[in-house]
C-alpha cells in the first residue's frame, strides 16, 4: 500500500474517492461542508432525505457529484461531535475502508485525518490511519489453494493534512505507521500459521531471514547448547515433542555497542496441548497462537530496524511445543532452572513460565537497561481484563509508567496489576524452591510472581497478552498486539524521554 500526505481542499482533488465525516444529527464536518458548497448543496439535500444521520459507522457512497473532480464521495458517520474521541476516530477509519473494499476505487483521499481528536495532533492521526488501514486490509490466505486476488484492490491512500507545514510531520508519521504495520503483519502471519508449519525450527528460520534483511546478529541455541547452560526448565517442556526446541536471539544495534540494550523476551510455544495436564478439545486449535509473544518480538525488532532507531535491542524467544508423551513432564516432577532454582511442576499446562524463566536468566548476560517479556500466559488475565487490555506487572514503577504511556499513545493499551510479595506465598512448595502454579486466586499475578523470581537483577516488566494477541469466533485470527505498544516504547526510549513522551 502506498501512503501519501497532501494539503489541499477537496474540490481540487482528482481521486477515486474522497472520504469525509458527518456528525449527528446530519452536521457536516468542515470538509463535508466544503464539498457541499462546491456541489451547490448536494450533500445537504441528500442528508435531508434521511439517507444518513451521522450515527457512528454509518456510510453513504455518492457518485459523480457535479463540480467535483473526484469520482466518488464516501460520507462516514462520526457520532456526536462532543463525544468524538480516539476510539471513535479509529472506528471510522476502519469503517471507511470496509465500505470501500468492494468498490472499484484503487485510490482514495481521506479527510478524516483532519477531524479534531481531543489531545491528539496530526502526527498521531496520520500514523493511526496508516496502521488501521493496513490492518483492515489484512488477509491471511497463504494456506488457501486459491487466494483471493482482487485486481481493483485499494492501492493508494492520500491522507489530508490541514497545512503545508504539516507535510513533513505527516511523512514521518507515515514512515512510523508503515513500520509498525509491517511488524504487526509479520506477527499476525506467524500467529495464523498452523502448528505443523510454524514450528520452533520455522520460527528460527524466520529470525535468520530477518537478520539477513536488516543486518541483525542472530544466534540460535540448540538443545545441546541449552543442556550445557543448564536450562532444565525450558528443556523439560520440550521433552514431550518431536520438534527440537530453539532459543532464538536477535540483536539490533542502532546505538553505541557499549550502550545497554532493551531486551524483549517473547514466549514462543508454537503449539500448546497442555502436556499431560491436557487441555479440553474445544478450541484447542487456537493454541497455535501460544507463540504470539515470540511473534511480537520479531515484529517489534523488524519495526525498530526499519525505522533505524538509535538504540540497541535484544530479542530472546524460547520456543518449543508442549505435548503429551511418555517422556513429557508429569505433575509432581521437579526440574532445575538455569538460575539453579528448582520448580515443582504441579500443572504441565503452566509451561510458559517454565520456558520464560530460563530465557530471562539467559537475558541477564546482556546487562539490559530494561527487560519486557511478552506472553500469552494465563487464562486468568483474560477473565480479569477481557480482550481490550494486556495485563502489565513490573518490578520497577518507572518502567511500568513508560509501558503504560506507550500503550495509551499507540492505543495498544495495558492495565497494571499488583506484584505484591503477599502473592508469592501461593507458590510455596513442600518439595522444591517453588511450584509452577499458585492456585485459582490471582492466577495472572502469581504467574508473574513466578517470573519475578528470575528478574531480581534487572528492571523488568511482564505483559500478559492472552486476551489481546488473537481474536476468537467469527473473526478468529492473530491481532499482532502488542507490537504497536512495544515499538512506541522503543521510539520513546530512542528519544530519551520514554517516561514522558507518548502520554
Q: Is residue 351 part of a domain?
A: yes
Check: CB of residue 468 under 8 Å from CB of residue 480: no
- Residue 279 annotated as catalytic: yes
> Which of 55, 279, 471, 495 is flagged as catalytic?
279
Q: Is residue 452 part of a domain?
A: yes
Average pLDDT, the chain: 95
| 17 and 121, same domain (yes or no) | yes
Q: Is residue 499 part of a domain?
A: no
Select from 161, 188, 206 the last residue of a domain: 161
* Cα→Cα distances 388→201, 294, 355, 382, 466, Å: 31, 20, 26, 9, 11
- pLDDT of amino acid 362: 98
| 139 and 276, same domain (yes or no) | no
Q: Is residue 299 part of a domain?
A: yes
* CA gap 215, 279 in Å, rounded: 40
Q: Is residue 114 part of a domain?
A: yes
* CA gap 468, 393 in Å, rounded: 16
* CA gap 251, 218 in Å, rounded: 6
* Residue 302 scores a pLDDT above 50: yes
> Which of 353, 453, 459, 493 is flagged as catalytic?
353
* Residue 502 scores a pLDDT above 60: no
| 213 and 119, same domain (yes or no) | no
Give tens-digit pLDDT for 153-203. 789 999 999 999 999 999 999 999 999 999 999 999 999 999 999 999 999
> How is residue 257 written as a grid cell?
555497542
Domain count for the chain: 2
* Residue 237 scores a pLDDT above 60: yes
CA neighbours closer than 13 Å in the CB half-sphere of residue 1: 28
- pLDDT of amino acid 15: 87
Q: Is residue 60 part of a domain?
A: yes
Sign of CA dihedral 65, 69, 70, 74: negative
Give tens-digit pLDDT for 83-104. 999 999 999 999 999 999 878 8
Give tens-digit pLDDT for 94-140. 999 999 987 888 899 999 999 999 999 999 999 999 999 999 999 99
| 14 and 104, same domain (yes or no) | yes
* CA gap 134, 112 in Å, rounded: 16
* CA gap 209, 202 in Å, rounded: 11
Name which residue leads in pLDDT, 144 or 267: 267
Q: Is residue 426 part of a domain?
A: yes
**Please, which pLDDT band fits residue 500 given cuts at 50, 70 and 90?**
very low
Of residues 319, 360, 322, the one with CA closest to residue 338 = 360
| 100 and 65, same domain (yes or no) | yes
Of residues 35, 8, 6, the one with CA closest to residue 20 = 35
Select from 117, 132, 161 the last residue of a domain: 161
Which residues are bridge partners to 156 per DSSP?
A: 2, 107
| 282 and 339, same domain (yes or no) | yes
Cβ within 8 Å of residue 37, ≥6 positions away: none
Check: CB of residue 59 under 8 Å from CB of residue 112: no
Select from 131, 161, 191 the last residue of a domain: 161
Report percent pLDDT > 70 for the chain.
Answer: 98
- pLDDT of amino acid 469: 98
Q: Is residue 43 part of a domain?
A: yes
At 441, which CATH number?
3.40.630.10
* CA gap 493, 499 in Å, rounded: 8
Domain span at residue 94 reads: 2-145+153-161
Check: CB of residue 223 under 8 Å from CB of residue 347: no
Do the strands 18-23 and 27-28 form a parallel or antiparallel pair, or are they unpaired? antiparallel
| 197 and 66, same domain (yes or no) | no
Amino acid at each position: 500500500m502506498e501512503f501519501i500526505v497532501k494539503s489541499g481542499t477537496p474540490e481540487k482533488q482528482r481521486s477515486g474517492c474522497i472520504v469525509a465525516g458527518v456528525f449527528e444529527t446530519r452536521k457536516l464536518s468542515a470538509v463535508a461542508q466544503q464539498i457541499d458548497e462546491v456541489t451547490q448543496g448536494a450533500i445537504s439535500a441528500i442528508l435531508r432525505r434521511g439517507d444518513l444521520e451521522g450515527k457512528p459507522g454509518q456510510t453513504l457512497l455518492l457518485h459523480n457529484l457535479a463540480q467535483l473532480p473526484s469520482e466518488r464521495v464516501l460520507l462516514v458517520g462520526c457520532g456526536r461531535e462532543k463525544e468524538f474521541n480516539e476510539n471513535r476516530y479509529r472506528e471510522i477509519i476502519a469503517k471507511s475502508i470496509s465500505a470501500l473494499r468492494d468498490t472499484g476505487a484503487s485510490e482514495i483521499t481521506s479527510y478524516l485525518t483532519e477531524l479534531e481528536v481531543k489531545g491528539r495532533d496530526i502526527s498521531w492521526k496520520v500514523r493511526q490511519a496508516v496502521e488501521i488501514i493496513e490492518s483492515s486490509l489484512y488477509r491471511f490466505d497463504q494456506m488457501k489453494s486459491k487466494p483471493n486476488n482482487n485486481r481493483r484492490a485499494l492501492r493508494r491512500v492520500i491522507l489530508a493534512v490541514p497545512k503545508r507545514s504539516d507535510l513533513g510531520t505527516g511523512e514521518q508519521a507515515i514512515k512510523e505507521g508503515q513500520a509498525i504495520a509491517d511488524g504487526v503483519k509479520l506477527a499476525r502471519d506467524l500467529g495464523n500459521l498452523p502448528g505443523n508449519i510454524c514450528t520452533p525450527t520455522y520460527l528460527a528460520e524466520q529470525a535468520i531471514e530477518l537478520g539477513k534483511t536488516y543486518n541483525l546478529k542472530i544466534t540460535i541455541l540448540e538443545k545441546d547448547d541449552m543442556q550445557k547452560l543448564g536450562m532444565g526448565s525450558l528443556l523439560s517442556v520440550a521433552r514431550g515433542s518431536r520438534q527440537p526446541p530453539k532459543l532464538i536471539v536477535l540483536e539490533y544495534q542502532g546505538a553505541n555497542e557499549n550502550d545497554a540494550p532493551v531486551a524483549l523476551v517473547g514466549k514462543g510455544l508454537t503449539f500448546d496441548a497442555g502436556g499431560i495436564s491436557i487441555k479440553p478439545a474445544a478450541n484447542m486449535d487456537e493454541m497455535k497462537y501460544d507463540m504470539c509473544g515470540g511473534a511480537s518480538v520479531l515484529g517489534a525488532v523488524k519495526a525498530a530496524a526499519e525505522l533505524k532507531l538509535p538504540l540497541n535491542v535484544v530479542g530472546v524467544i524460547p520456543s518449543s511445543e508442549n505435548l503429551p508423551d511418555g517422556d513429557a513432564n508429569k505433575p509432581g516432577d521437579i526440574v532445575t532452572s538455569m538460575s539453579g532454582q528448582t520448580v515443582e511442576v504441579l500443572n504441565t499446562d503452566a509451561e510458559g513460565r517454565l520456558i520464560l524463566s530460563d530465557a530471562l536468566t539467559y537475558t541477564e548476560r546482556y546487562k539490559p537497561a530494561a527487560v519486557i517479556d511478552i506472553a500469552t500466559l494465563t487464562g486468568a488475565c483474560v477473565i480479569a481484563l477481557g480482550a481490550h487490555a494486556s495485563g502489565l506487572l513490573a518490578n520497577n514503577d518507572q518502567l511500568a509508567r513508560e509501558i503504560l504511556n506507550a500503550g495509551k499513545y499507540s492505543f495498544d493499551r495495558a492495565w497494571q496489576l499488583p506484584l505484591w510479595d503477599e502473592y508469592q506465598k501461593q507458590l510455596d512448595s513442600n518439595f522444591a524452591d517453588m511450584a509452577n502454579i499458585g492456585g485459582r486466586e490471582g492466577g495472572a499475578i502469581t504467574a508473574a510472581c513466578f517470573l519475578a523470581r528470575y528478574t531480581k537483577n534487572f528492571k523488568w516488566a511482564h505483559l500478559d497478552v492472552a486476551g489481546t494477541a488473537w481474536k476468537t469466533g467469527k473473526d478468529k485470527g492473530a491481532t499482532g498486539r502488542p507490537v504497536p505498544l512495544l515499538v512506541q516504547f522503543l521510539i520513546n526510549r530512542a528519544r530519551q524521554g520514554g517516561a514522558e513522551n507518548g502520554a
